[in-house]
Amino acid sequence: MFFRDVNLDGRRVDLRVDGDLIGAIGEVGSVDGRGLPALQGGMITAPTAEPHVHLDAALLGVRAPNHSGTLREGIRNWAALRDGLTRQDVLDRARTVVGWYRRHGTLRIRTHVDTGCPVAVHALLELREALAGEVELQVVAFPQEGILRRPGLREGWEDAVACGCDAVGAIPHFERTTEEGWQSVRLAYDLAEKYRKKVDFHCDETDDPGSRNLEVVCAEAIDRGFGGRVVAGHCTALHSYPNPYAAKVCELVATSGVQVVANPLDNVVLQGRYDAYPKRRGVTRVDALWAAGATVGIGHDSVIDPWYPLGTANLLDAAYMLVHVAHLTSTDEMGRVFRTLSEENHLPFGDVPRIAAGEKATFLWYAAADPIEALRTREQPRVYVRGGQI
């Protein structure tokens, strides 16, 4: 194919696909595309990546609606459904949502799976293998109810990692005490070191400014040399920290190489539930993290599950929400939010895709002329090229 006068990273270029490779990229009018099917205008980007979703719970919200809208009710509703799940049920729901992601141009998906549900763990590991070559699926061993709250939780969590999960999860703010939360962080690093895994925390998903696990996550990452291999999801307590302490933590996040993944769709719904007016928005301090030099990702998190009753698996929806609730509405900020989906969101998987001559022809073409228009409309990419296949 030939793409004429398209927006690529803010430049107007022509791009030609030769077989499974990008044959040429150059200034408009400089690339020979004679005789090839052509598209005019629009915008080309790398495929997007999803760094934080829960496929084991996806589409279960209709079975157990969350009436209070709180994180804790969501956990209770999930726990009530968990023991009745079957392998086929988990696979069917996960495949449906993965299909939605693919239609929106998402080729990499990192899903958390509750280690209290071995059926779901094995089903998603099976799905990971079945999707190989189509979608890169990573599975995080996530102890939804913690690992120290009662006997058996830690053992199930360790078993899930031993079975082949890609990353070790933890939820320190949900443990019984602050000290046990910090202990769970260190146990997660210990387990990751044992099995040579990455680490992905649900961290400080609360409005409580006294929830201070993120600094422990960062300190351990520095001391153990885990920079670039740690994700801290949510981090909504950072929103409520006193400003001097928040500045210290943002600097620590940047120094440690920990990536913070914001989940604006869930957190604008779940946070602030204990507030009278004014109600906090509860999304982490993306602007302050950027200013400190930290790496940020954007996750969809939930798709019609016990925590969030909506969702389309379109990462542009999450980006659109973040622009609003985090006041990231300047031209530069909106552009950076959009780029995060196809750049920083890939970091938990390793490399960031490149669109350059000689590289594999894998990219998206949007009819929208620029990132701001794509955010405004949240349209699906019109053309999805993968290894030269359309």
DSSP 270-324: HTTTT--SSPP-----HHHHHHHT-EEEE--B-SSSSS-S---S-HHHHHHHHHH
Q: In terms of Cα–Cα distance, which of 339, 209, 348 is closest to 271?
A: 209
- Within a domain: 200: yes
Does 29 share its domain with 171?
no
Answer for the pair 22, 358: CB distance below 8 angstroms, yes or no.
yes
pLDDT in tens, 84-103: 999 999 999 999 999 999 99
Does 156 share its domain with 275?
yes
Note if 205 is an active site residue: yes
Q: How many Å is the Cα radius of gyration of the chain?
A: 21
Q: Could you give the number of structural domains in the chain?
A: 2
pLDDT given at position 387: 87
Q: Which domain holds residue 373?
A: 2-46+354-385
pLDDT given at position 205: 97
For helices 153-162 and 178-195, give the axis angle rounded to 10 degrees.
Answer: 20
Mean pLDDT of 337-348: 98
Does 115 share its domain with 16?
no
Does 99 share its domain with 186?
yes
Q: Point out the catalytic residue in the list 50, 73, 158, 205.
A: 205
CATH of the domain at 10: 2.30.40.10
For helices 315-325 and 331-342, give the axis angle rounded to 10 degrees.
Answer: 150
- Within a domain: 390: no
The torsion angles phi and psi of 22, rounded to 5 degrees, stand at -80, 110
Does 254 share its domain with 290?
yes
Q: What's at 243, amino acid-wise? A: N
Does 161 share its domain with 283?
yes
Does 359 share its domain with 339?
no
pLDDT band at 276 (very low <50, low <70, confident <90, very high): very high
Average pLDDT, the chain: 97
Does 291 share its domain with 379?
no
Within 8 A by CB and 6+ apart from 137, the residues are 98, 108, 109, 110, 111, 124, 127, 128, 131
Answer for the pair 96, 38: CB distance below 8 angstroms, yes or no.
no
- Within a domain: 237: yes
